[in-house]
Amino acid sequence: MSELWNQAGFKDRVDTLLADFLADEAEHLLTIDDLLKPVAEQLRVAASNGKRLRAAFCYWGWRAAGQPDNEALMRAAASMELVHAAAIVHDDLIDDSPLRHNLPTAHVALRAAVTGRPQARAAARSLAMLVGDHLMALAGQLFATCGLPAAYLARARPMWAELARDLIAGECLEILSTGTRPDADVSLKVVRYKTAKYTVEQPLLIGGLLAGAASELRAGLSAFGLPLGEAFQLRDDLLGLFGEPDRTGKAGLDDIRGHRPTTLLAKAWQAALPAQRERLVEVLGCRDLDEEDLREVRELMLALKAPEQVEELITCRVREAVSHLGGLAIPAQARRALTNLAHSATDRHH
C-alpha cells in the first residue's frame, strides 16, 4: 500500500472479502434447504453496512508492530466486523429496535418468512437470535481460517475470548441497569464493556498480538484504544437522540423509549431540578412517544447542558487517546492512520 492510507479503499477490501465469505456460507445453507434463504439473506444484510472501523483498528494494530500489508491479516481483521454484525443483531433484538441503517432490523425483516404462522412475531425473533449466534460463529471461523500461521493465531486467542466475554458482560450490564435510576458511573461502565473495548482496544490488541507485539506496545495500544472506544460510544449516544434519523438510520427516541442507561441521560438526571426529573420519569420507558416528545426531550437535555457535558467527555477522551500515540515506537504511517481514525470515529456529523 502507498504511504498515504486509503480508508475508503480499505473499506472496499473488507466489504468484498465479507461478501464473498457470506456468499459461500449462503450456498452451504441452501444445500441444506431452500427454506433457509431468508436466514442466509439476513447474514448478508447484517454484515453489509458500516465504516469497518473494527477491521481497521485490527489492521493497524498489526501494522503498528511493523508488519506489512497482508491478505491473511485482512481476513482476520474482517472477522471483527462479523463480531460487530452479531452484536448488532442481538442488540436490536434485545432493544426491539425497528430500524438499523434505515433498513428493517433482522427480527423485523424475518417476519416475512413466517407470515401466517402461529406466533409469527416470536418465531421471527427466534430466527434473528440464531442469525446473531451464527454470525459470531462465522467470525470465529473466518479468524481461525484466515491463513496466518497457527502460532500467530495462538497468541491472539486469549484476547478473542476476552472480547467475547466483555461484550456479553456489557450487554448484560445494560439490561440489568435499564429502567433503574440514571447513574453516570454505571452508564460509563456499560459504555466500556458493551462497545468501547470491542470497537477499538481489543481489535487493536488482536492485531498487535497476531504480529507479535511486545508488551510495551500492547500497553500503549490499550491506553490509546480504551478512551477512544468510550468516546466513540458517547458520540453514538449523542447521535441517537440528536442525530437525524434519515442519516443515523435509527429512531431518534429509541434510547428514551427503552429507558437505557446512557451517559447523556445520567448527566441530564444529575443536573435536573425536581420538576424536570418528574418530566423525565414520565417519558422514560414510554413506548408511544412522538415527534413533539422528541422535541421536548431535546430541549430539556439542552437546557440541562447534558450534551455539552458529553461533548466534553468525548473531547477529553480523544485527546487522551491521541496523546498516547506520541510515545509509541511505531511506524509513522501507523501513527498517522491511527490519529486519523481517532478523529473520524468520534467526529461523525449526522
Annotate 158-197 with DSSP letters as a single string.
HHHHHHHHHHHHHHHHHHHHTTS---HHHHHHHHIIIIII
At 307-327, the pLDDT tens digits run: 999 999 999 999 999 999 988
**Grid coordinates given for 13:** 477490501
pTM value is: 0.93
User: For residue 110, what is its C-alpha cell?
Assistant: 424475518
Distance of alpha carbon 66 from alpha carbon 328, whole angstroms:
12
Which residues have CB under 8 Å from 144's CB, separation 6+? 153
| 294 contacts 252 by C-beta, under 8 angstroms | yes
CA distances from 343 to 150, 216, 219, 310 (A): 34, 24, 21, 16
Domain spans of the chain? 7-346
Contact 96, 257 (CB under 8 A): no
228-269 pLDDT, tens digit each:
999 999 998 898 888 776 665 566 677 777 778 889 989 999
pLDDT tens digit at each of 350 positions of the chain: 445 678 899 999 999 999 999 999 999 999 999 999 999 999 999 999 889 999 999 999 999 999 999 999 999 999 999 999 999 999 999 988 888 888 999 999 999 999 998 899 999 999 999 999 999 999 999 999 999 999 999 999 999 999 999 999 999 999 999 888 889 999 999 999 999 999 999 999 999 999 999 999 999 999 999 999 999 999 988 988 887 766 655 666 777 777 788 899 899 999 999 999 888 888 877 777 778 888 888 898 899 999 999 999 999 999 999 999 988 999 999 999 999 999 999 986 54
CATH no. of 7-346: 1.10.600.10
Angle in degrees, CA 161, 180, 254, rounded to 5? 75
